[in-house]
Amino acid sequence: MQNSQTNTGRQARQQQQQPYQQGHSHHHHHYTENNKSPSSIPPNSLAISKSYVPAPASTTSDDTDFHESEARYECAICIHWLNEPVITTCGHRFCKSCLTKWLNNHNQCPLDNTELSLEHDIFPDNFTRREIEQIKHKCPNSPLGCAVVASPIEVDRHLPTCPYRRLENAEEKCPFASIKCDFVGRPETNALEEHLKEDMPHHMQLMLQAFQQTAISTWNPQKPTTTASGGKVNGVLPPPPPQYANEADEQLIQTMYQRIVVLEQRVREQDVKVENLTKQLAARQQIDPRYSNGTIVWEITNFRNVVEQLRADANNLLYSRDFYTSPHGYRFCARVNIQPRHLNLLSLHVHLMQSENDYHLDWPFNGRIKLWMIHPKDASLSQHDTIMTKPEVMAFHKPREHISTRGFGFVEYAKIADVMHKGFCEDDKLVIKIQINIV
């Protein structure tokens, strides 16, 4: 690979298990062929692919040894220590549960597409299991005082109940707790936000009860009402004077009115946003991808929110819309995701897609792929990479599914911090340009 410019957030790292193909690039890094199985996932969507196989991890890491598993003890599906390892007839090792889930949707090995059967081609790998059990790691909470030393799998099981795990800000109370709403959520979820949206009627009822109690407590006569002879009326206190009830009603009505005004304003704002998004979507759908001439300018909006969703689950994938090299040519799409072991790095891959032209095209695809991460204010700072294809790489063979199970690109495309702070993400929007030419 030829290198001529400074890399934005990537470093050369040796890749394992998956083949990688070298071409011409303006940055110092390796790029890889990357397994994934989108099946019915449409382009231009953030979706969960249960059959997703992340790209290989590197042999070096800044994490502790607990998080960094050796390649031969690593499941190629979950990219973690082999849990109940099994070996296939084609010689690959996976977690038992990972491979079972994969084969429930596919009948082939995720690494080399060899046909596999759960009943006849999968065997327990007791030798590897014993080797992993002999590896001992400290609990990640050992700096806090935990003395547990166990195998990686046992440490995984220990962590959720570790008495030294950090519990700061473990709970979030509802803002209406002062009026007896007993909801409690956890900060790492969106449960509180959903609660505030869905339980609004309950909060309104609590507000009504609180106002009623306030109105009653406000009325506090010093003496019981007596008759002319000095006795109590029927031996009980009379009802509150009408003015107190009226004042409470007026206060409640005013509060409710203010709340309604706020909600109506929010509804109007949401209607405007929906209308604008509908117009934008309609305009984009009018562009026929067959006439994109092998070029796509992919605008990833709400980038910070997208990053959070990708970090939350390694199976979350974001796809671009499809595009063609020519009206009767090859069909492609792009994908970004974040590897669970490299949460500060953005991955970028290109995938072939099935099209109505596949039957008359030459396979495997032979061409040049150019990638740009556009700097909106200074074009000279834009990141530019060029990849040349090779016929032996499976990612360029005729796709067997809607989106090819193999992607081709960079596991460590860019540091997310650099994207955020070096001007690439203006107005919370990242722009990636891809150009594919046949050679």
pLDDT at residue 307 greater than cutoff 60: yes
Domain count for the chain, please give it. Answer: 2
**Residue 200 forms part of a structural domain:** no
* Residues 38 and 111 placed together within one structural domain of the fold: no
Tell me if the pTM is above 0.75.
no
* Residues 40 and 103 placed together within one structural domain of the fold: no
pLDDT in tens, 23-39: 334 444 445 566 554 44
**Residue 350 forms part of a structural domain:** yes
Max Cα-Cα span within the chain: 112
Going from the C-alpha of 219 to that of each of 211, 238, 252, the distances in angstroms are 13, 11, 16
* Residues 409 and 297 placed together within one structural domain of the fold: yes
Kindly indicate the confidence band of residue 62, based on its pLDDT and cuts at 50, 70 and 90: very low
pLDDT in tens, 71-98: 788 888 888 888 999 999 998 999 999 9
**Residue 251 forms part of a structural domain:** no
Last residue of a domain, one of 161, 176, 191: 161
* Residues 322 and 399 placed together within one structural domain of the fold: yes
pLDDT in tens, 348-398: 999 999 999 999 999 999 999 999 999 999 999 999 999 999 999 999 999
CATH label of the domain that carries residue 121: 3.30.40.10
Chain-centroid distance of CA 349 in Å reads 16
C-alpha 104/C-alpha 319 separation (Å) is 24
Q: Which domain holds residue 393?
A: 32-49+289-438
- Cβ count within 10 A of residue 104: 11
* Residues 39 and 139 placed together within one structural domain of the fold: no
Kindly indicate the confidence band of residue 118, based on its pLDDT and cuts at 50, 70 and 90: confident
**pLDDT for the residue 237:** 47
* Residues 142 and 36 placed together within one structural domain of the fold: no
Last residue of a domain, one of 161, 177, 200: 161
Under 8 Å CB-to-CB from 295, ≥6 apart: which residues?
323, 433, 434, 435, 436
CATH label of the domain that carries residue 410: 2.60.210.10
* Residues 83 and 43 placed together within one structural domain of the fold: no
* Residues 42 and 87 placed together within one structural domain of the fold: no
Average pLDDT over residues 300-322: 93
C-alpha 341/C-alpha 158 separation (Å) is 20
Higher pLDDT, 54 or 174: 174
CB 110 within 8 A of CB 55: no
**Residue 188 forms part of a structural domain:** no
